[in-house]
Structure 1
Amino acid sequence: MLELSNGQIGGWISSFLLPLFRISSLLMVMPIFGTQLVPTRVRLYLALAITVVIVPTLPPMPEVDALNLRSLLLIAQEVLIGAMFGFMLQLFFHVYTVIGQILSIQMGIGFAAMVDPANGISVPVLGQLLTMLTTLLFLAMNGHLVVFEVITESFVTLPVGSGMLVGHYWELVGKLSWVLGAGLLISLPVVTALLVVNLAFGVMTRAAPQLNIFSVGFPLTLTFGLVVVWIGMADTLNQYQNLSSVALAMLRDLAQAR
């Protein structure tokens, strides 16, 4: 009969299960892998595979008892760290959702929504298009590999049991307004162009009150907005590179990685 002591079980927890909780919580929250399109079982298998690969390269883990309050606190800490990394990436992807919301409202197609299969909510079609484009660029440029590199380095920069730097995290939380700011900045050319069109229609209505501006203005605003968005797609790659650099830099700051 196999007998295991508390020390052996605690060693397994500290050497394997604690990194597993940090990695699995990241995969459960981060975009692409943490969506409803990826089954939970697949995410768990992926977390196990990543943990098995990186455990031999990690620094020594603190020894804890299997049934101890300290082990529960360490598990909660690891889950919180991984969830915060995933939340940071979610903010980066939601920048384009905000852009889609702003442009849809300005173009008058805010009612044109569809169910997002990844999150299970209704989003504007334009926002869904931008989100799909961001996902493809993120995978094509190996952004997921950078995330796995950062989470691996975090075990060195933020060792298990070292405590969380709450002040450092709150400082980063204060910088999260860049999400809305970035969305407004990218959508500013289209919003400005549509504002000029609406001002022109306002002048036309003032000059000729008998003109039914709603029947003429709506299709023209919609068509002009789509044309401006199509023209702005030419600079999507540069905008994505700038935003992704900022997002990954903030992720490294969160992990205190190099």
Structure 2
Amino acid sequence: MLEFTDLEVGHWISRYVYPFARISGLFMVMPLLGTRMVPTQIRLLLAVATTLVIVPVLPPLPKVEAMSVAAFVIILHQLLIGIALGFIVEMLTQVFVLAGQLIAMQTGLGIATTVDPSQGASVVVISQWLLFMVSLVFLSLNGHLVLIEVLVQSFYSLPVGMSSWSAADLGRIVHWSGWMFAAALVIALPALAALLVVNLAFGVMTRAAPQLNIFALGFPVTMVVGLFILWLTMTDMALSFHRHMEALFAFARTLVGG
């Protein structure tokens, strides 16, 4: 008659629980899957399916008693790693949301808002439009597959155990988040520069013809020029998203030690 010890049973359970914690942390915050539009049950099933697929190719996991403080700490570490990886990629989409808000404030389209179903907050229409565009580009470039590849690679370069990222590594993530604001400003810069020229032209017109009602004329012209600039720079935005995605995945690989 076969007999199993508590340690052996706990090891069999933890072989799936530890990877599941890291994978579920990623799926909670990553673009598209981490939004409110995807039900929690769907994310849970995807996390379970992904765990069952990648567990056979993972390196040996530590043998820790299932119901112990050490096992609980390891699970927290795995959740932290998954959430951090998802947060890094989520910054990529938020770059274009911030860029859309900057453009909308300058074009007068900031009053046109809509409810973002993915976040449950009110955002400007331009930001929502850019978010849809980068989400489609992310899928077309197989960004979700690359993200899962980085996740699997992290189990080798950052194996499951009591050790996790240091304070310096977490500081690198916080420091990298500042890149989000700089990149958003660079993306919105062409539209901001063009609208600045338009505003300067209206200033000259006001000085030349004081009787001209600049408020009645400037708002529709600024809005039309802003939409025209968006149409001209849409291709460059998609290419810029590709470059930013490569930079972020390179940073993610460096962070996990790949």
- With the shorter chain as reference, the TM-score category is over 0.9
Extract unaligned runs of 5+ from structure 1: none
What is the alpha-carbon root mean square deviation over aligned residues? 1.5
How far apart are 1:176 and its partner, in Å? 2.1
**Alignment partners' CA distance in 2, 1:5 and 1:236:** 58
User: What residue in structure 2 maps to residue 75 of structure 1?
Assistant: 75
Alignment of 1:1-258 (within 5 A): 5-166=5-166, 167-257=168-258
**Alignment partners' CA distance in 2, 1:13 and 1:153:** 22
**Alignment partners' CA distance in 1, 2:179 and 2:172:** 13
**Alignment partners' CA distance in 1, 2:200 and 2:74:** 59
| Higher deviation after alignment, 219-228 or 239-248 | 239-248
How far apart are 1:254 and its partner, in Å? 1.9
How far apart are 1:209 and its partner, in Å? 2.0
| Higher deviation after alignment, 206-215 or 165-174 | 165-174
On the 8 A contact 2:88/2:173 being kept in 1, the answer is no
Task: Give the structure-1-normalised TM-score.
Answer: 0.95
How far apart are 1:204 and its partner, in Å? 1.5
What do residues 175-212 of structure 1 show as CA deviations (whole Å, max 9, x unaligned)?
Answer: 22111111111111110000010011112222222211
On the 8 A contact 1:169/1:254 being kept in 2, the answer is no
| Higher deviation after alignment, 7-16 or 154-163 | 7-16
How far apart are 1:47 and its partner, in Å? 0.6
How far apart are 1:161 and its partner, in Å? 0.7
**Alignment partners' CA distance in 2, 1:79 and 1:168:** 16
Task: Give the structure-2-normalised TM-score.
Answer: 0.95
How far apart are 1:174 and its partner, in Å? 1.4
On the 8 A contact 2:74/2:162 being kept in 1, the answer is no
Equivalent position amino acid for 1:177 in 2: G
**Alignment partners' CA distance in 1, 2:247 and 2:241:** 10
On the 8 A contact 1:172/1:250 being kept in 2, the answer is no
Extract structure 1 runs of 4+ deviating beyond 4 A: none
Equivalent position amino acid for 1:199 in 2: L
- What is the identity percentage for the equivalent residue pairs of Structure 1 and Structure 2? 45
On the 8 A contact 1:96/1:131 being kept in 2, the answer is yes
**Alignment partners' CA distance in 1, 2:172 and 2:58:** 28
How far apart are 1:236 and its partner, in Å? 2.6
Equivalent position amino acid for 1:15 in 2: R
Residue aligned with 2:111, SS = coil
**Alignment partners' CA distance in 2, 1:103 and 1:169:** 31
On the 8 A contact 2:16/2:55 being kept in 1, the answer is yes
Residue aligned with 1:165, SS = coil
**Alignment partners' CA distance in 2, 1:194 and 1:36:** 35
What do residues 203-233 of structure 1 show as CA deviations (whole Å, max 9, x unaligned)?
Answer: 2222222211000000000001111110111
